[in-house]
Amino acid sequence: MKWKRITAAVLSAGLCAASLGGIQGFAQEESAAAMGRYLETSLEIPVQSIMDLVRMEDGTLRLAGNYEEGENGESKFGLFDSRDGGETWELAASLPPEYESAYTVTGTLDRQGGGAAVIMTEDGDSEDGYIWQILNFEGDGQAQAFPIPDQIFITNLAVSDGGSLAALTSNGQAMTLDRSSGETVLELPASDAVDAMGVFQNQALLLTGSEIQGVDLISGEPQARDESLNEALYTPGANYQSMTSTTYPIVFAEEGDRLYYATEEGIFSHTAGGSVVEQIVDGTLCSLASPSVGLIALEASGEVFYAAVQDENGSGKILKYEYSADTPAVPETELTIYSLEDNTELRQAIVLYQTANPDVYINYQVGLTGEDGITVSDALRTLNTDILAGNGPDLLLLDGMSVDTYREQGLLADLSALVEELSESEGLLENITDTYRTEDGVWAVPGRFTIPVLVGESDVIRQVESLEDLKNLLLQADAGKPAIGPTDAAGLAEALYPVCAGSWRKEDGTIDSEKLSEYVSLVKEAYDVQMANLVSAYGQEYMDEYKAGIRDYFYSNSTLNWDGDFLYGMIGLLQGEFQMKLGQITTYFSTSEIATVNSQTGNCSYIPMPGQESGVFVPSNIYGVVSTSDRQEEAMDFICFLLSKEVQTQNLYFPLPVNRSAFESLLSSYAWGEETDYSMASSDSSTGEFVEFTYIWMTQEEAENFTALAESLDTPAYTDQIVRDTVLENVRLCLDGEMSEEETVNAVMQTINLYLAE
């Protein structure tokens, strides 16, 4: 019997240092010496997942969550206490056996050590096989469950120091519940749907899309708005909608008349009725800013703070913040990093690096935020101006940029020594890391890569040895089963672009019009045939809507973000909907998806995607050091860290690693040929057929074949984003009949040659 939490993936985090923004009552104001800030440490805890954390009336910390017991690692829900600030924990109480098999959706603890939770238990008589209940439990573990009226989906619970239980539903409705019956006591009014909720004294704090509102928990009467708190919370871009069922974008704590809250920006303090909101911990200098951290709870104990968080694996952590008067308030060294688009892995690595190097602050700048109307050309123009003026970054994430252009202008430092050192110490996939090596040096190094592949029924795949063979298959009329699915037809230009674009580049940097014309012609011919086949199968209206949706997706995402599309393609192959899937192996889960289909059908294989080039891989996380930087040594040290096994094994959801040790380690994440703990379900909207997709890991032979493929790749895809966008935007017009093939080629040639001449 197991008590489990319903978890969602939230990226993992490390430890780091946190800064103090000069808060009265916690530390002295910053002096000329600028000493003193909060430091973060991670506590050892006895649970795998956390429901809540509270400081009880006597100062004891109480932790609620799942722990493993017995030889078989049976999961149970327990209440654990710490009387020494989280250094040691002891089991205080467990729930009665009848609730050990329940799933915890959300829950809260009170100051007496009891609490309430929303649980799901199996019920064969209900429509969906489950019954939802409110579980009220005492500090000694005694518990009683009550059905939730009208099957309302509760996403958050919070209990006030006065004992009132507040609840928030998935449709943004807030209410108070009777803990002895589970029934609604009051509906709490708000000006709009409530995104997040907390409690402070006898108020419910309700955060909508535009304001925070206080509502009395006893009378249900709205309270006067705290303008200073509202102003601090609703800075431009603030969003408190929760993206998971187990973590929250903001969590609250209270101590006396002082309210605390934590977000990705840090930990803040506000006195009731006061006019100031003060920052205690700077999120940019600690794990709170990492996309790999999800907040669960916050507690304060004098000058010490505890944040309960969850990583991407659903594992809980408690981060403890204590003030250190001997630590510089601001790190002495600043390293500036620039990328066109935000990069999740880079943000996670920054947190880890600052943990190991508390004297270094990494200033991460993103050119395209999506909020200011800046184009790629605008962003690059500004970046280049700053670099030439001596105000540029120290390190570049070159994804979407022209590495050759920066190299030819002498703006990149030689990374040869760095690559050689890593190759000797940890091992690298040198066919990937040498992508930007010339006779004179190594000017950039990819940290990750993906592989364009053609996957499908083995007897079909065996017929394909070249782009011409693939073209012939795509030009065949539908013989009962489409060659490719709707996604591949609508995104055919995008799928083939990585294995073709590099062949268009001449030695002088200009575009070969004949090669480009071959690509446009092939895509247009195959698109027309496949769309006609699919219209016959699905209808014109369906395909028009589908095409628009797919194009919006591909045009708002790079070709590196196809993992979701790849999965649904594998499900389509499993269901026999089409013969082939054009895509990219973006992660180890892509190889697992292929292995899963093959294990069930015995008829699924893959080959490198045929194109105008062969042996193509798509480099990503491409790092380069600016040659004019006075922080080259620090920048190179950070690149070494990014390419280390420690960082490159952080997450299976990231693209393939270039560190050989990491590559081999992740290959054996699960037992060869065995089921993993990942699964999903899909149904056919037209037939109602239900398909369960349980991931099966590669066999050892499949892993060896995949490794051989990765080591054989020798042609990097052309990754200049301006060129890609220009080509695909014009090809889109051609496919829709708004331009001829010749007009498309001419338009692309004119635009790109002007761009390359700048």
Contact yes or no for 397/635 (Cβ under 8 A):
no
**What's the CA gap between 427 and 328, in Å, rounded?**
37
Q: In the beta sheet, which residues pair with residue 360?
A: 333
Going from the C-alpha of 51 to that of each of 9, 74, 161, the distances in angstroms are: 16, 18, 18
273-327 pLDDT, tens digit each: 899 999 999 998 889 988 889 999 999 999 999 999 998 778 899 999 999 988 8
Share above pLDDT 70 across residues of the chain, in percent, rounded to a whole number: 89
Q: CA 466: distance to chain centroid?
A: 36
**Amino acid (one-letter) located at 123:** D
Would you say residue 682 has pLDDT above 80?
no
Query: Does residue 336 surpass a pLDDT of 80?
Result: yes
- Find the mean pLDDT for residues 353-375: 87
Average confidence (pLDDT) over 602-609: 95
Are 4-330 and 337-446+621-648 the same fold in CATH?
A: no
The whole-chain average pLDDT of the chain stands at 88
Mean pLDDT of 161-175: 94
Please report, for the chain, the start and end positions of each structural domain, with discontinuous segments joined by +: 4-330, 337-446+621-648, 452-619+656-719
pLDDT at 687: 56
Residue 685 in this model has a pLDDT that exceeds 60:
no
Residue 23 pLDDT more than 60? no
Expressed in angstroms, the distance from the first to the final Cα of the chain is 67
The arithmetic mean of pLDDT across residues 465-481, rounded, is: 84
Considering only CA atoms, which of 432, 427, 438, 422 is closest in space to residue 636? 422
Average the pLDDT over 515-541 and give the result.
89
CA-to-CA distance for 212 and 198, rounded, in angstroms? 10
Helix-, strand-, coil-residue percentages of the chain, each rounded to 5: 30, 30, 40
Q: Locate 753 and state its tokens.
A: 């040659």
At the second CATH level, the architecture of 4-330 is: 6 Propeller (2.120)
Number of helices and strands (H, E) in the chain?
20, 37
Q: Both tokens of residue 310?
A: 């969850």
Lowest mean pLDDT among 229-238, 309-318, 407-416, 521-530: 309-318
Residue that the structure tokens 């935000």 belong to:
342
Compute the residue count for the chain: 758
Look up tokens 């990014």; give the residue.
642
Mean of pLDDT values over 729-749: 95
pTM equals 0.80
Tell whether the torsion through CA atoms of 595, 599, 600 and 601 is positive or negative.
positive
* Count of Cβ atoms closer than 10 Å to residue 669 Cβ: 14
DSSP annotation of 25: T
Q: DSSP per residue over 577-618, as a string? A: S-SEEEEEE-SHHHHHHHHHHHHHHS-EEEEEPPSSSSSEEE
Distance CA 238, CA 232 (A): 10
pLDDT bucket at 9, cuts 50 / 70 / 90? very low
The better pLDDT of the pair 630, 687 is held by 630
Res. 528: pLDDT tops 80: yes
pLDDT at 22: 36
DSSP assignment of 308-339:
EEE-TTS-EEEEEEEEEEEEESS-SEEEEEEE
Q: How confident is the model at residue 2, as a pLDDT? A: 27
CA 740 from chain centre, in angstroms, equals 40
Question: Which ranges of 104-261 would DSSP assign to H, the alpha helix?
Answer: 227-233
Greater model confidence, 641 or 537: 641
Confidence tier at 558 by pLDDT (50, 70, 90): very low
**What is the percentage of the chain residues whose pLDDT exceeds 90?**
67
Residue 215 has pLDDT above 90, yes or no: yes
Instruction: Determine the CATH number of domain 337-446+621-648.
Output: 3.40.190.10
Mean pLDDT score, 335-351: 93
204-208, 350-354, 381-385, 475-479: which has the minimum mean pLDDT? 475-479
Question: Which one-letter DSSP state was computed for residue 421?
Answer: H
Give the pLDDT confidence score for residue 5 in this predicted structure.
28
Structure tokens at 207: 């955060």
The amino acid at 180: S
CB 190 within 8 A of CB 213: yes
